[in-house]
Amino acid sequence: MAQQYAQHLLDFIDTSPSPWHAVDSIEKAIQIFGFIQLDESSKWQLQAGGRYYVVRDDSSIVLFVIGNGIPAESGFRIVGAHTDSPGFRIRPNGATVSEGMARLGVEIYGGPILATFTDRDLSLAGRISFLDADKRLSHRLICFDKPLLRLPNLAIHMNRGVNEEGLKLHKQNELPLLFAQLASEQLPKPYFLELLAQIADIDATQILSWDLAVYDTQKGAFWGANQEFYADSQIDNLASCHAALQALLDKTVLESACRTLVCAFFDHEEIGSESHIGAGGSFLADILQRIDMATATEREDHARALAQSFLVSADMAHAYQPNFPAAYDADHRVCVNKGPVIKSNANRRYSSESVSIARFIQWCEEAGVPYQRYSHRSDLPCGSTIGPIASAKLGIRSVDVGCPMWAMHSVRESAGVLDHDYMIRVLKRFFSD
């Protein structure tokens, strides 16, 4: 079963090369479960037991199942995660040429390990905005399902110190990605626009703008003597989105929900969450308020619902890598395939506190799932998640958890097969409680 869930996860990641595609994959996955899409600009009429979802700007999505009890009496059970991963985004006028080599200028999105993007079979995926035949503004997801781009390394003969000093890439000058060899009469910008037009099946003159992410075309794979590990891009944090979704779509969870269950998957976590679709924006707060407006009878019901709610912020954790023991606090080494990690940080980089941690431990024990405790080294800056942001915004108690993984923010991350299954099981328990 664990291997099947992990394979399902790899398939989900491989069909989700960008945050826009991740939301599209989620919409496709929930179709057979009878979820109804709600438009934020329309009036809502919600039914007890109803299944709904809202997409904001194509890359953030909130799904919810209205429980049998009204939220004012039983609160919301929310799992939050993020749809974006660090990497590169294409600049608006990015196409240039040098000695016939066409390149695409990129901006760095979030905090990727830049060196891991060299010598990979990269490509482009994202969203394109254009005028359709009736001159209406339209948007379409595009993906070049083949290697299109590359960042070739410098040969060691020209970079003799690379193994001693590490691969350092100048962020402005050394990251443009090679994408074509042009004849002297070909100009890079129209050439690139034509590529986009072809893949979007429109005319180049119709294109107005785009959001394009660079992705690695290599599919996910299992590895290890017993295939107990898996590798793919974007494990941080599509693995948590996938685990939460699998838990929500469980037959028993869906059909016997008492509380209102919510999955909130946000874009823009890797760049601080401050946007109208990020965890720091109004998206989730707006949705919860509207659920209450549609189901409440008293004005104070919304506050009562929030006061009884709980947020599990699910994001990946740093697994112990035995080659680098000094990178970890010796008493908080967490290992792959040993269970979900509960993250603590005294400076609230994680939202967990003793009560929320205790609740999560109870859910792990009730689900028969092992758990681990993580605390970052004091002499290294600690990362963060949507947990503290969403929890503060909503006034809801929260715990930060995640599966242990290696090489966070590499273009090729890896993690343990068993942990994914454990996470799904404990989130099912959380939703059923």
CA distance 341 to 324: 19
- Taking the complex as a whole, the smallest distance from the CB of residue 86 to Zn ion amounts, in Å, to 9
237 binds Zn ion (CB under 5 A): yes
Give the sheet arrangement for strand 177-181, strand by strand: 137-143, 122-131, 207-216, 87-98, 101-109, 177-181
Instruction: Check if the beta carbon of residue 307 is closer than 8 Å to that of residue 74.
Output: no
- Taking the complex as a whole, the smallest distance from the CB of residue 57 to Zn ion amounts, in Å, to 20
Distances (CA, A) of 318 to 240, 304, 427: 14, 36, 20
Bridge-based pairing state of the strands 372-375 and 404-406 = unpaired
Contacts of 229 (CB under 8 A, 6+ apart): 222, 223, 336, 414, 415, 416, 417
- Taking the complex as a whole, the smallest distance from the CB of residue 379 to Zn ion amounts, in Å, to 22
Distances (CA, A) of 120 to 150, 169, 240: 6, 15, 25
| Token reading at 269 | 């976590």
> Interacting stretch for Zn ion, rule CB under 5 A, among 22-30, 195-203, 237-245, 326-334?
237-245
Residue 414, H or E segment: strand 413-416
> Interacting stretch for Zn ion, rule CB under 5 A, among 142-150, 152-160, 311-319, 392-400?
311-319
| Token reading at 52 | 């709904």
For Zn ion, the closer CB: 315 or 421: 315
- Taking the complex as a whole, the smallest distance from the CB of residue 82 to Zn ion amounts, in Å, to 6
Contacts of 290 (CB under 8 A, 6+ apart): 44
For Zn ion, the closer CB: 54 or 403: 403
Contacts of 172 (CB under 8 A, 6+ apart): none
Of 14, 84, 211, 236, which one interacts with Zn ion (CB under 5 A)? 236
CA distance 430 to 369: 12
Distances (CA, A) of 1 to 5, 79, 123, 184, 416: 6, 22, 32, 56, 14
In the bound state, the residue with its beta carbon closest to Zn ion is 237
- Taking the complex as a whole, the smallest distance from the CB of residue 351 to Zn ion amounts, in Å, to 14
- Taking the complex as a whole, the smallest distance from the CB of residue 362 to Zn ion amounts, in Å, to 25
> Interacting stretch for Zn ion, rule CB under 5 A, among 110-118, 203-211, 315-323, 412-420?
315-323
211 binds Zn ion (CB under 5 A): no
- Taking the complex as a whole, the smallest distance from the CB of residue 300 to Zn ion amounts, in Å, to 35
> Interacting stretch for Zn ion, rule CB under 5 A, among 88-96, 230-238, 353-361, 410-418?
230-238
The label of the residue with tokens 């005294």 reads: 346
CA distance 100 to 103: 10
- Taking the complex as a whole, the smallest distance from the CB of residue 303 to Zn ion amounts, in Å, to 30
- Taking the complex as a whole, the smallest distance from the CB of residue 402 to Zn ion amounts, in Å, to 8
400 binds Zn ion (CB under 5 A): no
> Interacting stretch for Zn ion, rule CB under 5 A, among 68-76, 119-127, 313-321, 414-422?
313-321
For Zn ion, the closer CB: 291 or 405: 405
For Zn ion, the closer CB: 236 or 400: 236
> Interacting stretch for Zn ion, rule CB under 5 A, among 96-104, 168-176, 231-239, 252-260?
231-239
Bridge-based pairing state of the strands 317-318 and 404-406 = parallel
For Zn ion, the closer CB: 237 or 398: 237
Instruction: Check if the beta carbon of residue 338 is closer than 8 Å to that of residue 424.
Output: no
For Zn ion, the closer CB: 51 or 318: 318
> Interacting stretch for Zn ion, rule CB under 5 A, among 63-71, 307-315, 364-372, 392-400?
307-315
For Zn ion, the closer CB: 237 or 410: 237
> Interacting stretch for Zn ion, rule CB under 5 A, among 4-12, 235-243, 317-325, 363-371?
235-243
Instruction: Check if the beta carbon of residue 430 is closer than 8 Å to that of residue 397.
Output: no
Instruction: Check if the beta carbon of residue 299 is closer than 8 Å to that of residue 347.
Output: no
- Taking the complex as a whole, the smallest distance from the CB of residue 315 to Zn ion amounts, in Å, to 4
In this structure, the dihedral spanned by the alpha carbons of residues 38, 42, 44 and 50, taken in order and rounded to 10 degrees, is -20
For Zn ion, the closer CB: 192 or 350: 350
Of 14, 24, 58, 315, which one interacts with Zn ion (CB under 5 A)? 315
Q: Give me the 16-55 binding string for Zn ion, x by CB under 5 A, dash otherwise.
A: ----------------------------------------
| Token reading at 9 | 């996860």
Count of CA atoms in the C-beta half-sphere (13 A) of 27: 17
CA distance 146 to 294: 46
- Taking the complex as a whole, the smallest distance from the CB of residue 84 to Zn ion amounts, in Å, to 9
Compute how many residues bind Zn ion; rule: CB under 5 A.
3
Interacting residues with Zn ion (CB under 5 A): 236-237, 315
